[in-house]
Structure formats: structure tokens, C-alpha cells
Amino acid sequence: SQELEQSPQSLIVQEGKNLTINCTSSKTLYGLYWYKQKYGEGLIFLMMLQKGGEEKSHEKITAKLDEKKQQSSLHITASQPSHAGIYLCGADRGGGSNYKLTFGKGTLLTVNP
């Protein structure tokens, strides 16, 4: 089965600082999803990456997928308290699997004002 490792497990930053969260797969990723979750709530879709070398941005969040399609990073610029939450990466197991997602264990982000 596909394993996803996220690092760091938790992160505390001061408001205004930049930060990066990594997601590494043991197998080639057909699709990589980034979600944000507040504890006890559902997941908010952030971005989906499919092509090697792809990079997408939304507001102050940028996600990249490496050329080998085994590692993705999520970068937040000038963090704000509203960025706090749990960030989860999810891997698409491939078309033959009916697009099931396997998730990493998440990165808990705290942004101190």
C-alpha cells in the first residue's frame, strides 16, 4: 500500500513567518491533494497536483510536486492566525483504484499572533 510521510508533525510559527510542510510518498503519485482541517471539522480542499514539476498557488499558499512525483511541498508565505489547522496530504492511488485517497498523518500548524 502507498505510504505517505508528512513532516514536520507539528509546527509553531510567529505570525508573518514563512513555512513549508512536506509530503513524501513511497510510490509514484498519480495525484496529490492538499487539505486543511480544523479539529473536529471536515476537510477544506486546497489544491491538487498531478504533473511532475507542477506548481499551484492560491492566495499565500503554494504547493509543488517534484519531477519524480514522489514528493510534494506546501509553502505558506507571511503566515496568519487564520492559517492555523491541520494540513493533510492525500495521494490518489491511481485510476484503477477508483481514485481512493490515502492520507498522511497530518501536520498541525499553530500561528502565534
Partner 1 sequence: GAVVSQHPSRVICKSGTSVKIECRSLDFQATTMFWYRQFPKQSLMLMATSNEGSKATYEQGVEKDKFLINHASLTLSTLTVTSAHPEDSSFYICSARLLAGGRNEQFFGPGTRLTVL
| Residues making contact with partner 1 (CB under 8 A) | 31, 33, 35, 40-45, 48, 88, 90, 98-106
In whole angstroms, the minimum distance from the beta carbon of 30 to partner 1 comes to 10
Rounded distance, CA 92 to CA 20, Å?
A: 22
Q: Which residue's CB is nearer to partner 1, number 15 or number 30?
A: 30
In whole angstroms, the minimum distance from the beta carbon of 70 to partner 1 comes to 19
Q: Which residue's CB is nearer to partner 1, number 34 or number 76?
A: 34
Alpha-carbon distances of 99 from 74, 77, 91, rounded to whole Å: 22, 31, 9
Q: Which residue's CB is nearer to partner 1, number 8 or number 16?
A: 8
In whole angstroms, the minimum distance from the beta carbon of 4 to partner 1 comes to 9
For cell 492566525, name the residue: 81
Rounded distance, CA 23 to CA 65, Å?
A: 9
Q: Which residue's CB is nearer to partner 1, number 10 or number 112?
A: 10
Rounded distance, CA 5 to CA 37, Å?
A: 17
